[in-house]
Amino acid sequence: MEYPQTNDRWGEKEHLLIPEMMEIYAGTIIEKILIFKHQLWDIFDVSQDSQEAYDKRDSLARETWWQNSWHLTKCMEFLSSPKFEKMVTYLEHPDVPRYEQSETLINIWRQMEAVRRGFKSPKGRLNHLKLFQITHYLKQQI
């Protein structure tokens, strides 16, 4: 098992919390989940091309530490499926950004869908979406 090293994406809180959690939960499923999460990050965010991602996935599949967890086994089955090819297509196209604004847009849209947020009609949601796009993407330069 490869333990997660410090990560550039971690904030001050994570630098303190993750190593402590690894000590506290050593030998438990929580430790395995933290390691598995780190391995996934390594596959999808650190890999430079799809072949490297495949190699990392295959290396993880050969390891045995995750195999006694039903949930991690299901995750590996999904990663070993033909869908993995579609998951790493962005690695072959350097002009495609790894982090897409569409995730933010989808989250905003879901928040607007809820009536409790004050948008009781589709027209109100659409108007709010337009305002969000103007302020976020165009920086109010129209």
Lowest mean pLDDT among 35-39, 73-77, 101-105: 101-105
Between these two residues, 131 and 82, which has the higher pLDDT value? 82
Percent of the chain with pLDDT over 70: 70
Q: With a cut of 70, say whether residue 111 has pLDDT above it.
A: no
What is the chain's mean pLDDT, rounded? 78
Between these two residues, 92 and 110, which has the higher pLDDT value? 92
Average pLDDT for residues 84-91, to the nearest whole number? 85
CA 19 to chain centre: 21
What was the pLDDT predicted at 77?
93
Between these two residues, 5 and 44, which has the higher pLDDT value? 44
- Check if the beta carbon of residue 53 is closer than 8 Å to that of residue 39: no
Q: With a cut of 80, say whether residue 109 has pLDDT above it.
A: no
Q: Quick check: pTM over 0.75?
A: no
Angle, helix 70-79 to helix 29-41, in steps of 10 degrees: 20
User: How far is the C-alpha of 32 from the C-alpha of 29, rounded, in Å?
Assistant: 5
The domain locations on the chain are: 12-92, 101-136
**Which residues have CB under 8 Å from 136's CB, separation 6+?**
101, 104
Q: Indicate if the alpha-carbon torsion angle 113, 119, 123, 125 is positive or negative.
A: negative
What was the pLDDT predicted at 17?
77
Name the strand (E) or helix (H) holding 23. helix 12-24
